[in-house]
Amino acid sequence: MGVLGSAKAALVFPGQGSQAVGMGKDLAESFAAAAEVFERADRTLGFAISKLCFYGPESELTKTVNTQPALFVTSVAVYEVLRAQGVLASPKGGGGHCGYAFTAGHSVGEYAALYAAGAFSFETGLGLVRKRAELMHEAAQKNPGTMAAVLGLSPEQVRQAVEQAAEAGVVVAANFNSPIQTVISGDRAGVARASEIAQQMGAKRVIPLNVSGAFHSPLMQSAADELARALAAAEISDPVVPVAANYTADLETTAQEIRENLAKQLTGSVRWVESVRRLLDSGADAFIELGSGSVLAGLIKRIAPDAAVWSVGDRASVEALIGA
């Protein structure tokens, strides 16, 4: 079944690493719905996140405190364009060719997924994302760390590698991205030792990531504690469609689950492989990636080679989806 013919589509939203200077620019120039999202974001944040997305510089865009809100805003802009064009139905009812049944996001992408699921307003979501980014930056300053992508080993092999490296320092399996790509995270000594062990176990490559901290590891605990307080105070509703949560790899349907899982996500693993399989088991028959780049589409194809997958992030891909 094609993407637009699906009644059981899952909308998916990318996380850090997908950002690129120029993201959202031609959307905002071509579609009023996107321009409005960027204008609202600028007003809400009190600075021109739109200009940072459109023109950079890359050195500023790649800072965690900027990357996360930039990705959220860009993903929401794509979503609102597709709604305005009548391609997507609203989760609360309304016209559209595609009545999506699920949403999911990778790490910070989970906030755009929750927005699309009707769990909170744009302003609430953006405020939470900005707070999350600031807290993660502060935690990384207090507890420096790093991350590395391990290619060519199974998730279980990577788990074994980090267990064997535990004596060297803090290190955990942070992102289960595909059956043969797992990201590890922790302090520099722990990640270095786990990388050595992974290579000895036969990993094809171990790639250090250009990140400012040990995200999705115990080194983020202080950020998780503070974020939990912000989430408790935020106006969050039960989602209108189920959201596959990173922390549990299960479908969450209540505001309480959302609050708990978003806080735990900062120190827990992004269980992307399990989340995609959970969506497939629940009946998802197509995946539409909304936002910058096509990282998730590539990962989903590795997890489920036969899945119908579409990436939408600029004017050309919007028009291609409409023309489909």
Provide the CATH number for the domain around residue 164: 3.30.70.250
127 and 245 co-located in one domain: yes
Domain, as residue range, for 36: 9-140+219-323
Answer yes or no: is 1 within a domain: no
Residue 3 is assigned to a structural domain of this protein: no
Mean pLDDT of the chain: 95
Q: Specify the range with the lowest mean pLDDT, choosing from 3-7, 16-20, 296-300.
A: 3-7
What was the pLDDT predicted at 1?
A: 37
Using the 3D structure, point to which of 194, 212, 230 is the last residue of a domain. 212
The alpha carbon of 6 is separated from its chain's Cα centroid by a whole number of angstroms, namely 23
Q: Which positions are catalytic? A: 107, 216
**Confidence (pLDDT) at 94:** 45
b/e code 291-303 from CB counts within 10 Å (16+ = b): bbbbbbbbbbeeb
Residue 290 and residue 242 share a domain: yes
Residue 184 belongs to some domain of the structure: yes
Give the pLDDT confidence of 81-137 residue by residue, as tens digits: 999 999 887 665 444 445 799 999 999 999 999 999 999 999 999 999 999 999 999
End of a domain among 179, 212, 245?
A: 212
Residues 223 and 307 grouped into a single domain: yes
Q: Is residue 67 part of a domain?
A: yes
Does 293 have pLDDT greater than 80? yes
The percentage of residues in the chain with a pLDDT greater than 70, rounded to a whole number, is 95
Looking at the fold, whether 202 and 274 belong to one and the same domain comes out as: no
288, 234: one domain: yes
Going by C-alpha positions, the residue among 173, 150, 191 that lies closest to residue 274 is 173
* 282 in the same domain as 167: no
pLDDT at 92: 53
Rounded CA gap, 291 and 310, in Å?
11
Band (7; pLDDT cuts 50, 70, 90): low
161 has pLDDT over 50: yes
Pick from 166, 174, 130: nearest CA to 150: 174
Domain assignment of residue 4, yes or no: no
Tell whether 2 is covered by a domain.
no
- 106 and 250 share one domain: yes
Selection from 158, 137, 150 nearest residue 214 by Cα? 137
41 and 111 share one domain: yes
The reply to whether 56 falls in a domain is yes
Q: What is the pTM of this model?
A: 0.96
**Residue 133 and residue 161 in one domain:** no
- Taking 90 as the threshold, does the pLDDT of residue 6 lie above it? no
**Looking at the domain assignment, is residue 275 inside a domain?**
yes
- Residues 162/194, Cβ–Cβ less than 8 Å: yes
Q: What does the alpha-carbon distance between residue 141 and residue 5 come to, in Å, rounded to a whole number?
A: 47
The reported pLDDT for the residue numbered 25 is 98
pLDDT of 44 over the 90 cut: yes
pLDDT score, position 99? 72
Residues 239-252, mean pLDDT to the nearest whole number: 97
- Preceding peptide of 91 cis, ω within 30°: no
- Which one is predicted more confidently, 91 or 203? 203
CATH number of the domain encompassing residue 47: 3.40.366.10
Q: Is pLDDT of 180 > 90?
A: yes
Q: Which of 212, 227, 243 is the endpoint of a domain?
A: 212
pLDDT in tens, 224-242: 999 999 999 999 999 999 9
For tokens 């549990």, name the residue: 248
Region 197-223: what's the mean pLDDT? 97
**At residue 64, what is the residue type?**
T
Residue 300 C-beta-side C-alpha neighbours within 13 Å: 29
Centroid of chain to Cα 81: 19
Domain count, the chain: 2
pLDDT for res 89: 78
- Are 127 and 233 in a shared domain? yes
Percent of the chain's residues with pLDDT above 90: 91
Pair 71, 127 in one domain: yes
Q: Are residues 204 and 229 in the same domain?
A: no
Given 3-state DSSP classes, what are the helix, strand and coil percentages for the chain, each rounded to the nearest 5? 50, 15, 35
Length of the chain: 324
